[in-house]
DNA sequence: CTGTTAGCGCATTCAC
DNA sequence: GTGAATGCGCTAACAG
């Protein structure tokens, strides 16, 4: 392997340098390097040696111009800060990188104007596709169907069903949580959710309630909504226990809320999970594995969602098509000590 | 503003289309669009109108090939998962984006081979610069000084002083923490740190001890090292209090450790901050603002570090130079309830 | 099998 | 002021 230092020089070697150094014409050098069949083995060797000697690396910019494709995709996020965006990014970057395609990262910072700017920039740079990553699962405005490249919406689906969107199955997630609690023998199950304006909150509640009904159970009390914070988890838990002391399990809308709930339960002398089981959403490792007991949670498989988005781009690049619509990806139950006591 | 849908079409408009539509030659159209002076106003108007009419957007690939510059930089991270990387990324992307330059995101996932691949890819794509973002503040291997573009190392400095590196001033951070505690009247100050193999841990301890000595104080007990977890914060705090019940302040190596400490202090009936003050590092909002009381912490200003990295790239692009060496960026004290009680 | 010709889309000479 | 000519580095379609 040529050392990286060799890549240097006053001017990187061009195909022309290689060709003349090998004593052949430029197209011949090109064919030889690209493994095309119509080149004599002897010639190919000479060219390869010359390329090696000069540490030749093809200029992708020129290659892209000639090819009309760039082998790049744009990752257009609405907000990098949102903690659900990063795993999706990672998954996408990973999958795309493995396919030899590089990623332009653009953060619109929640600003529609900036998003338009970035979109134009990406198209000017002739990206082969775009992945739009939103911060919530609420539908977002479509970029329109007439863009010259395939677009995949991840996490936040497009508000148009003519676009291709990938989002976690939050209703299934709620169902998963409730079913786990039921399976472990809980019958008096309450729900502390987050911000009621989030569709994720509504979807999960709906799924959980459906599972309870299927099992012939009723939720204990009304679902409590407020914010996705530990503070709310504490307050809501106090409220819940004063109104419904008989509760034996709490579904919490996020791991943060669950941490608050566990905290307050301990203050109130209720044992987790013996007296009351607690389950969260998001499987945020830092929170889930550091609580006492560790937190059972629903993982949205976001990294996988990012990978699927990349895969969709790939297939669109191949076939040119993308079967439009909203695709809900399955979530996953991660069992820890807050719902099942250690033996 | 032309709607985005207009950007579409069977084939995006080229400069040639604009030129013929305006009844001028290609070079003239080019000059007119680029605001060059040697074009008659009347001609310029015709060209601009034609461009507008055709929704012309210059093909950046072609423009880059001709110019020999791409207006892109590579962001080479060793590990996207590391939670210190994201804010740096955000800062860099933000600053670069504002300067009209786009960012290639590459995650090496802690693998040197993959890093080499990405580096080669970035150079082939003719990025104008590279920012290398590490996951720890321990020095990392240099990419070498002979690369054809400026390289800035962020967070993890290069092990070569001939490179340009930006890293948080952890020693200053430790000093900041100790000085704050001293200023608020604490005198029996202990230190619970994280993984002793991290240079960040050592640097902060060193800074804190120096500040204590300057104030004529001695640290209470040996610094306790283990891991950057809440669990360790709990265990270490128990240990500390049994050995040194007189302690009146604890410097914790991270916010996670601090959360554990606060948790155990409450269990042991010590009031925070009245009996014992607690300060953390990282200012990880989710942890710091959700604890009871909220957590005073040292913020490493990572987003600013990312911005500075971008600025360094800019100046290198302009002047061609970068004054090599390890540059330590100041940190910032964020005071909350765990060191000063609310009135 | 090889090399000549042409073109990707744009910007930069330089004559006119 | 304007346009014809040339080049960025590479690939594709031909002719030899």
Q: Tens of pLDDT along B76-118?
A: 999 998 889 999 999 999 999 999 999 999 999 999 999 999 9
Q: What is the pLDDT of residue B10?
A: 63
Tell me how far apart the alpha carbons of residues A183 and A94 are, in angstroms, rounded to a whole number. Answer: 36
Sign (positive or negative) of CA dihedral B93, B95, B98, B102: negative
Query: Which residues in chain B show pLDDT less than 50?
Result: 1-8
The reported pLDDT for the residue numbered A4 is 36
Give the per-residue pLDDT at A321.
Answer: 80
Q: Which pTM does this prediction carry?
A: 0.94
User: What was the pLDDT predicted at B343?
Assistant: 61
pLDDT at B224: 98
Domain chopping of chain A, boundaries: 4-54, 72-168+302-331, 170-300
Answer whether A118's CB lies under 8 Å from A143's CB.
no
- Specify the CATH superfamily of domain A72-168+302-331: Response regulator (3.40.50.2300)
pLDDT at A11: 81
CB contact under 8 A, A104 and B107: no
Contact B88, B303 (CB under 8 A): yes
What pLDDT, on a 0 to 100 scale, did the predictor assign at position B319? Answer: 83
Helix residue spans in B34-147 (DSSP H)? 41-53, 60-67, 85-98, 112-124
Instruction: Mark the nucleotides of strand D covered by protein, meaning any atom under 7 Å from a CB.
Output: 1-5, 7-13
- Residue A81: CB atoms within 10 Å: 17
The answer to whether the beta carbon of residue B66 comes closer than 7 angstroms to any atom of strand C is yes
pLDDT < 50 regions, chain A: 1-8
Using DSSP bridges, classify how beta strands B102-107 and B151-154 pair: parallel, antiparallel or unpaired.
Answer: unpaired
Distance, CA of A40 to C1' of C3, in Å:
14
Largest distance between two CA atoms of chain B: 88
CATH topology of domain B4-54: 434 Repressor (Amino-terminal Domain) (1.10.260)
Give the pLDDT confidence score for residue B11 in this predicted structure: 81
B31 membership: H or E segment, kind and range? helix B26-33
Cis geometry, peptide bond prior to residue B273 (ω within 30 degrees of 0):
yes
Classify domain B170-300 by CATH number: 3.40.50.2300
Q: Which of A116, A290, A291, A295 should one mutate to test binding to chain B, selecting the residue with the greatest count of B CBs within 10 A? A: A290
Give Cβ neighbours of residue B61 (< 8 Å, ≥ 6 apart). A61, A64, A65, A70, A125, A126
The 10 Å CB-count burial string (b at 16+, else e) for A301-328 is bbbbbbbbbbbbbbebbeeeebeeebbb
Fold agreement between A72-168+302-331 and A170-300: yes
Residue reference for tokens 């306790």: B224
Please give the pLDDT value at position A6: 34
What are the C-alpha distances in Å from B272 to residues A14, A257, A263, B337?
Answer: 67, 23, 16, 8
Q: From residues 67-126 of A, which are strand C contacts by CB within 7 A?
A: 68
Contacts of A109 in chain B (CB under 8 A): 94
Helix, coil or strand: residue B250: strand
B75, A105: Cβ pair inside 8 Å?
A: yes
| Cα B33 to Cα B36: distance, rounded to the nearest angstrom | 8
State whether residue A307 is helix, strand or coil.
helix
Closest partner residue to A89 (CB to CB) among B80, B120, B121 is: B80
pLDDT attached to residue A10: 64
- Please give the C-alpha separations between residue A190 and each of A238, A239, B152, B246, in angstroms, as whole numbers: 13, 12, 52, 44
Residue B342 is predicted with a pLDDT of 76
C-alpha span between B287 and A221 (Å, rounded): 30
What are the chain B neighbours of A12 within 8 Å (beta carbons)?
148
List the one residue out of B140, B116, B134, B88 whose CA is nearest residue A86. B88
Work out the widest C-alpha separation in chain A, in whole angstroms.
Answer: 88
Residue among B169, B68, B132 nearest B312 (CA):
B132
What pLDDT shows up at residue A67? 94
């Amino acid at each position: 392997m040529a050392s990286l230092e060799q890549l240097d020089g006053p001017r990187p070697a061009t195909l022309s340098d290689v060709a003349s150094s090998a004593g052949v014409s430029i197209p011949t050098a090109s064919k030889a390097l690209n493994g095309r069949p119509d080149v004599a083995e002897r010639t190919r060797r000479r060219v390869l040696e010359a390329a090696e000697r000069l540490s030749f690396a093809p200029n992708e910019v020129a290659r892209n111009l000639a090819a009309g494709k760039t082998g790049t995709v744009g990752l257009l996020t609405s907000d990098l800060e949102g903690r659900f965006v990063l795993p999706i990014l990672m998954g996408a970057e990973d999958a795309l990188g493995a396919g030899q395609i590089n990623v332009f990262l653009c953060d619109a910072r929640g600003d529609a104007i900036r998003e338009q700017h970035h979109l134009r920039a990406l198209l000017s740079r002739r990206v082969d596709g775009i992945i739009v990553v939103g911060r919530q699962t609420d539908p977002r405005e479509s970029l329109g169907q007439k863009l010259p490249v395939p677009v995949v919406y991840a996490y936040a689906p497009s508000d148009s069903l003519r676009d291709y969107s990938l989002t976690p199955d939050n209703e299934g997630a709620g169902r998963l949580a409730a079913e786990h609690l039921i399976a472990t023998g809980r019958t008096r199950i309450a729900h502390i959710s987050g911000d009621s304006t989030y569709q994720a909150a509504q979807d999960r509640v709906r799924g959980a309630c459906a599972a309870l009904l299927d099992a012939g159970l009723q939720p204990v009390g009304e679902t409590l909504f407020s914010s996705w914070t530990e503070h709310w988890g504490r307050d809501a838990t106090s409220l819940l226990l004063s109104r419904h002391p008989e509760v034996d399990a709490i579904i919490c809308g996020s791991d943060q809320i669950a941490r608050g709930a566990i905290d307050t339960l301990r203050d109130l002398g209720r044992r987790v999970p013996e007296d009351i089981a607690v389950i969260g959403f998001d499987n945020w490792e830092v929170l889930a594995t550091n609580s006492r007991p560790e937190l059972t949670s629903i993982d949205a498989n976001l990294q996988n969602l990012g990978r699927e988005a990349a895969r969709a781009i790939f297939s669109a690049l191949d076939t040119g098509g993308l079967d439009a619509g909203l695709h809900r990806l399955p979530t996953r139950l991660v069992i820890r000590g807050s719902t099942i006591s250690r033996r």
